[in-house]
Chain A
Amino acid sequence: MDDPWRWRFWTLLAIVVGVPVLAGVLLALRFLPDRPVTYANIEDHFKYGSTGGERNAGFPLFIWKALPVVFADKLPRNGATGYEAFGMIYEKDEHGRPRELPVGVMRRRNLGLDRVFVNCAVCHSTTVREAPDKPRKVYVGTGASHFDLGLLEKFFGDIVVDERFTANVLVPAVERESGGKLGVLDRNLVYPVAIALMRERLLMLRDRFLPLETEKWGPGRVDTWNSAKAGLSFVISGLPEHERRGAVDFPSIWNQRKRKHRDDGQPMQLHWTGNNVSVEERNLSAAFGTGATPRTVDHAAIGRLEDWLLDAAPPPFPFPIDRAKADRGAAVYTKHCASCHGKSGQDFSGAYVGHVTPVAKAGTDREHYNSYTYELATNQNVLYAETRYRFTHFRKTDGYANMPLDGIWLRGPYLHNGSVPTLRELLDLPEARRATFYRGYDVLDPVRVGFVSDVPEENGRRFTFYDTKEPTKSNRGHLYGVGLPPADKDAIVEYLKTF
């Protein structure tokens, strides 16, 4: 008598409990995995590996790909298309096809989507050609001299207030990017929600970053400290005008171990103003730029990069070096440069290396120095609060730090603000340095050392004009060695090629 009821009971139970459990399991399988795309090769890891920031700031991959298509009219009008218009680099994969993502964009499965965001390499790798007809080589660990971060930020700020930034427009574009393989759930729920969340977050960022006028930075440069202020919700428009801008070149990041000690046994003062002596803290500070917050940061993945950068060395100068001339240059360099810049590209010893030279004495453009303030330094004390990583090393200094010159041939243009196109010009009086030039062209100048900087356009791709009369861009100061005979200057430059 009980049998049919028992059967019905179990069936009902299976439906009432089993179906939701099954659905829950399926949803969990879809939405819970948190998996970065990883690389065994450390250089690939640097170029494409995760810092964890995608969990906070990551764009869904297909949206990332659709944006420059949908908003092609909002890209910089410089003759390039897609993300290449910002100077981003697409390498070829093993089949010779362009990779799906450019150098400096990382990827992670998170919240049921592939999410992508920029990582360290976007600002710290560059392309180089030995001549216009030679192949492009990608070098990691140097400043991204041709990448225009400011325009990329402007682009994201522009599109989020565009009327097309809606699910109606973007979901079909995502569908195309996915090759028509979007599921029902994706089309109707996941992407519309993702677009709404992205919009909210981008609007918040736009609100904070718009006053920075990032479009004025130019390629290879970033206003580090005003970006930090914006992230901390400072009211940029309320700051005194001289603190509001301070774009500088992206630095090279090799040989960090050697930067942990200077001649007096203390660690070197890092950053252009020497405002921090902790390599690790400096790295976490920079990682904010990749979206990595205390909650999302992947300490293991960043640690791997950190370890590698301790001893990663710059590539050798790709042209022949006149050894005899370089030796003569070494003698002059030792006398006039070494105490501040180290004995060589490998030996960073020198009484003032990693110390700060007062801004008036250095004589270089003051704006970046002005932009780093005591108020910012103290506010940075709360970053990574309640963790063992809390920032404790930021200090306002009185000038600019004396940098080691490892890989200096790859670090043009020169001075902290990228205002002097070549090393040879840096050894001349400011009046003799080029007052205007172009940035973004990646062919090396093997004689004066730096990038060729007088090419406004190549095959329809227009480069960015740099006018040293504009704020933050002055090429004055650093008058060291300018009085030497030209032959000595040439010899110094030859020696610097060995760095």
Chain B
Amino acid sequence: MFAWTPERTKRLRITLVALFVVLAFGAWFGWYKFFRVVPQPPFATADERFKYGSIGGEDSAGIPYWIVYVLPRVFPDKLPGPTGYASFGFSWEEGTELPIGFTKKTIGFPRVANNCAGCHVASYRLSPDDTPKLVPTGPNHTFNLEAFFRFLVDCARDPRFNAGTLMAEINLAGDLSWIDRMIYRFVLIPITRKRLLERGPRFAWIYNHGLPQWPDWGRGRDDAMNLTKYFLTTSPLDDTLGPTDMPSIWNLKKYKTNPGTRMNFAGDSWDANSVIIDSALGLLGAGPANNRMFLEEIKWLTKYLEEYQAPKFPLPIDQARAAAGKAVFDANCASCHWSARTGTVVPVQEVGTDIERIKSWNKAAAVRSNETVRALGIERRGLVEADPTGYIAAFLDGIWLRAPYLHNGSVPTLRDLLEPVAKRPQVFYRGYDVYDSLDMGFISREDQAKRLGTSWDAVKAVATPYDVRWRSNGNMGHEYGVTLPQGEKDALIEYLKTL
């Protein structure tokens, strides 16, 4: 017969205590290795924080550090070029562990995610032997975001994405403890693979490339509104395509001080705060883990971007010629680019540029997006709930660094833009960052490269071919100033350097 003898009670008590200790240790261990949040070390400058500061992406979209680390070593064949992560055209500072726009934060284990700077730090060189100059908040015209999206999914789809292969490479590169190696082998690698594979179907439209008329985004562009549709609101894929240049995001205050202006290429969003929130949510790939912290970072970013000023043209400017150019500008350009109309929508029928970007967005998508963000408990003025009708007449501050031109980056230099459509280049190369101060833009054609004595830096090897005959890549429209005499064009270009 069972009876609660004192001895049995004691034994039970000991067992329970032991059990509790084991469970408590297990819970602590699980928390420590998987959930413990270690804040990033403080940043010395605002620029550093912009470049490497977490916006919260590590929770939902973070990839374990060592997996990010070894992917280009295990899958060099899936990279867009021969030079590891550098081949994506990230801006990567010498001496810095991760490319700009990559954030590293420990949540249990070190994780890597992305922030705004990945697409919004520009690089340029004045000669091929220079190291790149980096401009925070400038457009990253060298970064092949689409290739990066595809790389992660393609790696996960490859049979080499397994614990054995990845661990062999990790062991060559790092010095992980036994327990961390086990965690990677049995937990992180399989889960990461699963998560990356889940991204695949949503990205189906970026795998269409190669179909007739369906171009790559290429370096320096993304299909921003489709990303919003498919990822923020999980709308079904449609047949639209609207890749546009990564925009500069300096001096956002101008949208505040000029009432009636809107943001995004087609004026799809009411204000800077909304655009920043929506873009950041895109990077998180999910609602923030902590709304308060997320919105605090947004507030900081908004302030930083409002204040940051466009960089000055880095070479001497012929002031007399620029002064003459100002007259040309006032007569031919100012009505859109320096007037009350600046920052407002110009109907596409009027400007005549490629229409595909406009077709990639609509009222229903805006309504759904606004609902989605509201449901996350985030208040913002949001997206304009109307079908887009045209393109924003751009503010031209820092226009020298914003090549290639037009919303879809279809015209390589400002001088090309002052030519009639028939005379604009049909094929050129994007993503090479040596600056062409004569025509204002980046060197983008081999003949030019030869002319400037830089033919050694094979533009082809580092740039993405960009052919304006592909759908959405049209270089038509905006035929303003194309009939000006050569001298006036030269003067106008000189003036544009001063903006």
Evaluate contact between A385 and B174: CB separation under 8 angstroms: yes
Count of A-B contacts judged by CB separation below 8 Å: 98
A93 on the B face (CB < 8 A): no
**Within 8 Å CB of B83, what residues of A?**
229, 234, 239, 373, 375-376, 379
Evaluate contact between B73 and A295: CB separation under 8 angstroms: no
Evaluate contact between B174 and A386: CB separation under 8 angstroms: yes
Evaluate contact between B173 and A294: CB separation under 8 angstroms: yes
Query: Shortest beta-carbon distance, B82 to chain A, in Å?
Result: 3
Evaluate contact between B73 and A374: CB separation under 8 angstroms: no
- Per the bound structure, the CA–CA distance linking A119 and B326 in Å amounts to 67
B239 on the A face (CB < 8 A): no
- Per the bound structure, the CA–CA distance linking A382 and B92 in Å amounts to 12
Contacts known (A242-B456, A385-B174); A233 close to B94, Cβ less than 8 A: no
- Per the bound structure, the CA–CA distance linking A370 and B128 in Å amounts to 11
B448 on the A face (CB < 8 A): no
* Interface locus among B4-12, B95-103, B311-319, B471-479: B95-103
**Within 8 Å CB of A385, what residues of B?**
65, 69, 97, 173-174
Name which residue of chain B comes closest to A294, CB basis. B175
The DSSP consensus for interface residues of chain A is loop
- Per the bound structure, the CA–CA distance linking A6 and B77 in Å amounts to 66
CB-CB contacts below 8 Å: A372-419 with B: 373-379, 381-383, 385-387, 390, 392-396, 398
- Per the bound structure, the CA–CA distance linking A235 and B77 in Å amounts to 8
Name which residue of chain A comes closest to B68, CB basis. A382
B22 on the A face (CB < 8 A): no
CB-CB contacts below 8 Å: B76-134 with A: 76-77, 79, 81-87, 92-99, 110, 129, 131-132
- Per the bound structure, the CA–CA distance linking A382 and B86 in Å amounts to 12
Evaluate contact between A295 and B171: CB separation under 8 angstroms: yes
CB-CB contacts below 8 Å: B40-63 with A: none
Evaluate contact between A396 and B84: CB separation under 8 angstroms: no
Q: Which of A240, A394, A395 sits near B457, CB closer than 8 Å?
A: A240
Evaluate contact between B93 and A234: CB separation under 8 angstroms: no
Contacts known (A386-B174, A396-B94); A375 close to B87, Cβ less than 8 A: yes
Q: Which of B73, B94, B172 sits near A394, CB closer than 8 Å?
A: B94
Query: Shortest beta-carbon distance, B106 to chain A, in Å?
Result: 11
Evaluate contact between A240 and B173: CB separation under 8 angstroms: no
B458 on the A face (CB < 8 A): yes
**Within 8 Å CB of B74, what residues of A?**
233
- Per the bound structure, the CA–CA distance linking A56 and B171 in Å amounts to 10
A236 on the B face (CB < 8 A): yes
Query: Shortest beta-carbon distance, A239 to chain B, in Å?
Result: 5
- Per the bound structure, the CA–CA distance linking A398 and B126 in Å amounts to 13
B441 on the A face (CB < 8 A): no
**Within 8 Å CB of B84, what residues of A?**
232-234, 375, 379
Contacts known (A234-B82, A234-B84, A240-B458); A378 close to B92, Cβ less than 8 A: yes
**Within 8 Å CB of B174, what residues of A?**
294-295, 385-386
**Within 8 Å CB of B243, what residues of A?**
none
- Per the bound structure, the CA–CA distance linking A359 and B84 in Å amounts to 26
Name which residue of chain A comes closest to B75, CB basis. A233
Question: Other than the known A378-B92, A382-B97, A387-B175, what 9 A-B pairs have Cβ atoms closer than 8 Å?
Answer: A235-B79, A295-B175, A381-B92, A381-B98, A382-B173, A383-B173, A385-B174, A394-B95, A395-B131
Closest 5 CB pairs of A and B: A238-B82, A235-B82, A375-B86, A378-B92, A375-B83
Give 23 A-B contacts (CB < 8 Å), ordered by A residue: A229-B83, A232-B84, A233-B73, A234-B76, A234-B82, A238-B81, A239-B83, A239-B461, A294-B173, A294-B175, A295-B174, A370-B456, A375-B83, A378-B92, A378-B96, A381-B92, A382-B97, A382-B173, A386-B174, A387-B175, A392-B95, A394-B95, A396-B131
List chain B positions with a Cβ less than 8 A from chain A: 65, 69, 72-74, 76-77, 79, 81-87, 92-99, 110, 129, 131-132, 171-176, 456-458, 461
